[in-house]
Amino acid sequence: MQELDPLVLLAVFREMLGTPLLVLLALLTMLGTLAFALLLLRERRLVAARLVRSQAGGIFGGALALVLMAKVSSSGFTDAGGPADWFLIGLVFGLGLIGTTIVLYSIAGWLAAARGNRQEPVHEP
């Protein structure tokens, strides 16, 4: 394979995950990213305490991404032999961590906005 074709990647992901799970993950990714972007536009900043809590939850999301990877692939973690395999395992964990952090941050931010507990930014001279 000389070039990276997005349709080939889509076919591989459909084969591995199945159509319902692939659609669910794609929708979750798009809605989470949109909610995060709109929250940033609304608040015009990142709330540090919310971000730290979301990152802690993101660790569990990274672990769940590894579990999902092990379930849908034909090999397990004991089959990882070379650096490319371990790089891919780290990449899956990292993407699960980042994605979960974004989704949790968005959920926490919109829940706080719905409750009216939005912290006002501190303006320093």
The answer to whether residue 49 is domain-embedded is yes
pLDDT for 76 = 67
pLDDT for 97 = 95
pLDDT for 105 = 96
pLDDT at 1 over 70: no
Report the distance separating Cα 24 and Cα 22, nearest Å: 5
pLDDT at 27 over 90: yes
The answer to whether residue 120 is domain-embedded is no
pLDDT at 86 over 70: yes
pLDDT for 87 = 85
The answer to whether residue 69 is domain-embedded is yes
The answer to whether residue 122 is domain-embedded is no
Report the distance separating Cα 105 and Cα 117, nearest Å: 15
The answer to whether residue 46 is domain-embedded is yes
Nearest residue to 29 (alpha-carbon basis) of 61, 55, 1: 61
Report the distance separating Cα 102 and Cα 57, nearest Å: 10
pLDDT at 58 over 90: yes
pLDDT for 121 = 54
Mean pLDDT of 80-91: 81
Give backbone dihedrals phi and psi of 7, rounded to 5 degrees, phi first: -70, -30
Average pLDDT, the chain: 85
The answer to whether residue 124 is domain-embedded is no
The answer to whether residue 17 is domain-embedded is yes
- Could you give the number of structural domains in the chain? 1
The answer to whether residue 50 is domain-embedded is yes
pLDDT at 122 over 70: no
Question: Which of the two residues, 98 and 8, has the higher pLDDT score?
Answer: 98
Structural domain boundaries, residue 101: 6-115
